[in-house]
Amino acid sequence: MNKNQSSSAKTASSAANKKSTILRILLCIRPYIPFVILSLALAALSVILQLLIPIYIGDGVDEIIGRGNVNFDSLRQIILRILLCVLLTAAAQWVMNHINNVITYRIVRDLRVQAFHKIHEIPLSYLDSHSAGDLLSRVITDIEQLSDGLLLGFTQLFTGVITIAGTIIFMVLLQPIATLIVVVFTPLSFVIAKFISTHAFTYFKKQSAARGSVTDLTNEMLGGLKVVQTFSHEQEAMDEFAKRNKELSGYSLRATFYSSITNPATRFLNSLIYDGVVLAGCLLCFLTPFGGTVMTIGELTSFLSYVKQYSQPFNDITSVLTEFQNSVASAARVFELLDTEPEPADDADAVELRDAKGEVTLTNVAFSYVPEKPLIENLSVSVQPGKRIAIVGPTGCGKTTLINLLMRFYDVNSGSICVDGTDIRHIRRMSLRSNYGMVLQDTWLKAGTIKENISYGKPDATDEEIIAAAKKAYAHSFIMRMPQGYDTVIEENGGNLSAGQKQLLCIARVMLHLPPILILDEATSSIDTLTEIRIQKAFDEMMKGRTSFVVAHRLSTIREADEILVMRDGHIIEQGNHEELMKKNGFYRKLYTAQFERS
């Protein structure tokens, strides 16, 4: 395929994508058809009232200059009619604008809800391959851009189309010859607008993507500002931001340039047409082919008012079209998120896992994130209920991946993982995950009170249960030192807490829930040694009778494990308890002794 063919194919694909996006936007409007009909009716009413005004003005002009004496009573009646039309038009437009706001912001509300729900449905693999900042930009900024375009469309497009149709009818009734001049040449503004808007759409689409990139970097820097400052990386961060911001600025400038020239170009064309109609109308006022003028001065005044009213919607609609390009580009990014394949649905025969005993069996499990790069191969493990299993190994050996597979954040490529004898692919995800308790090295807390965060997995927990769990996690003492104790509001992700305090709250959250299977992934990595010893005792109590998977780099914390799995390059190379593995004098012994040599 040559360059021209490739460019044509790309253009055709972009046009098809644009049409598909516009159709999706119209489908979003469908639930609010009654409101749309009411808005159209009000738009028609306001247009009819506005179209009556030039007739009354023309009658008034003829009343003043067309007769010898001015009939002030008649003139007063005309003025009252004009005022009545103005007042009714204002009322109709106010109600119409309110309805348009209702339609627009309900559509935006629906899309935000759909997008937020979709984020909870999409597989973890999507979240791993898309930045949080880009997703945030789609849910917030892009939907906001769509609302701006919709509001302009409802407010100006409806009224504009009806105005054009109405003015044509009134102009034909007044003067068919002059109407022909207007109708033939005015639509040229649409040709100009289409040419410009096609180019504008391309840059608006790139602008949306670049905006997501800037939001992503900003979100990333705010989340890790302490690290950035610690490593004196401020200049590099600012350089990268400047680079992305410059790219955004370039696309925005081009998009704005194309969108900004549309209105002046169409206004210039419409002004030329208006001037031509003025000239033709003046001639018609003085032509007397049948013994009388073709138009009166009053009729010419009315006709010119209609020409103005006729051309104004073309200016408004072309402005809306260029703004709508931005909205369509933003909507495409939102719909791309909404069209993402969700996590595969549970099998029709999937069962509920109730009161799990904790027997976990992995048989010939193979998994890789990328097909051409195998990670876990032929992994088989049998874990009896209530056993404590430790997983150790160098970075990248597959420890965290194994946890992801146990939780079914990812499905195995081959082999099987069974809980209590049932393949987890035949267990409902929610019931499977409700039987796991998880404490990760990376903590997560929501903005809210400490009490709400501890009871996140058990919302109906009593205050006594929450306090008891916090005491077991050795978090009670620091909580009571907080301004409002358990009712203290913490920032998003616990921004006003230390790393150790955040981890203690996460541990308390699991201790309150106490499911039959526990996963502890470096659960005490941010806690001081003395507290770790106390927490370890609490864990020992918590893990009694529960199947536990413990991922640890500090090997001293897993000496009491019933079985230790030593992983390397996705394989279990050694298996046994601490004493057995030390006697083997293999890879585990090297890891263990190397750790104490460093300390």
Return the SS3 of 218.
helix
> 596 falls in which pLDDT band (50, 70, 90)?
low
Q: At what angle do helices 176-185 and 297-338 cross, to 10 degrees?
A: 30
Token pair recorded at residue 15: 């046009």
Q: At what angle do helices 297-338 and 72-121 cross, to 10 degrees?
A: 10
Whole-number Å distance between alpha carbons of 544 and 537: 11
Instruction: Please report, to the nearest 10 degrees, the dihedral formed by the alpha carbons of residues 226, 230, 234, 235 taken in order.
Output: -170
Q: What one-letter code names the amino acid at 350?
A: A
Provide DSSP, 531-565.
HHHHHHHHHHHHHTTSEEEEE-SSGGGGTT-SEEE
Cβ neighbors of 530 (< 8 A, separation 6 or more) are none
- Using one digit for the tens of pLDDT, what is the confidence trace for 130-159? 777 778 888 888 888 887 777 666 667 777
- Using one digit for the tens of pLDDT, what is the confidence trace for 252-262? 888 777 777 76
* pLDDT > 70: percent of the chain: 86
Whole-number Å distance between alpha carbons of 124 and 401: 12
Q: Which pLDDT does position 7 carry in this prediction?
A: 45
Q: Which pLDDT does position 218 carry in this prediction?
A: 80
Let me know: does 353 contact 420? Beta carbons within 8 Å: yes
* pLDDT > 90: percent of the chain: 5
> 5 falls in which pLDDT band (50, 70, 90)?
very low
Q: Which pLDDT does position 8 carry in this prediction?
A: 45
Return the SS3 of 132.
helix
Whose tokens are 């006729």? That residue is: 310
Strand 414-419 to strand 360-367: parallel, antiparallel, or no bridges (unpaired)? antiparallel
Let me know: does 285 contact 267? Beta carbons within 8 Å: no
Whole-number Å distance between alpha carbons of 363 and 493: 37
Q: Which pLDDT does position 148 carry in this prediction?
A: 74
In this structure, which long-range contacts are made by residues 13-22, counting pairs with CB atoms below 8 Å and at least 24 apart in sequence?
14/201, 14/202, 17/332, 18/201, 18/328, 18/332, 21/328, 21/331, 21/332, 21/335, 22/328
Whose tokens are 């201790």? That residue is: 511
DSSP-assigned letter for residue 122: S
> 246 falls in which pLDDT band (50, 70, 90)?
confident
Selection from 124, 144, 116 nearest residue 337 by Cα: 116
Average per-residue pLDDT in the chain?
80
Q: Which pLDDT does position 419 carry in this prediction?
A: 92
Q: Which pLDDT does position 91 carry in this prediction?
A: 93
Let me know: does 392 contact 591? Beta carbons within 8 Å: yes
Beta partners for residue 390, in sequence order:
550, 564
> 319 falls in which pLDDT band (50, 70, 90)?
low
- Using one digit for the tens of pLDDT, what is the confidence trace for 379-433? 888 889 888 888 888 877 888 888 888 888 888 889 999 999 899 999 998 888 8
Whole-number Å distance between alpha carbons of 503 and 531: 12
pTM more than 0.75: no
Looking from the CA of 482 toward its CB, the CA atoms found within 13 Å total 20
Q: CA 136 from chain center: how many Å?
A: 5
Considering only CA atoms, give the Rg of the chain.
36
Token pair recorded at residue 372: 């051409």
- Using one digit for the tens of pLDDT, what is the confidence trace for 525-541? 666 777 777 777 777 77
> 95 falls in which pLDDT band (50, 70, 90)?
very high
- Using one digit for the tens of pLDDT, what is the confidence trace for 157-170? 777 778 888 888 87
Q: What is the mean pLDDT of residues 314-334?
A: 75
Let me know: does 537 contact 557? Beta carbons within 8 Å: no
> Greater confidence, 557 or 35?
35
Maximal CA-CA distance, the chain: 124
Q: What residue spans of 339-408 are helical by DSSP H? A: 399-406
> 11 falls in which pLDDT band (50, 70, 90)?
very low
Statement: residue 124 has pLDDT above 50:
yes
Let me know: does 36 contact 44? Beta carbons within 8 Å: no
Q: How many helices (H) and strands (E) does the chain have?
A: 21, 12
- Using one digit for the tens of pLDDT, what is the confidence trace for 454-486? 888 888 889 999 999 888 888 898 899 988 899
Q: Which pLDDT does position 4 carry in this prediction?
A: 46
Whole-number Å distance between alpha carbons of 64 and 71: 8
Q: Which pLDDT does position 67 carry in this prediction?
A: 56
Cβ neighbors of 228 (< 8 A, separation 6 or more) are 221, 234, 237
Q: What one-letter code names the amino acid at 495?
A: G
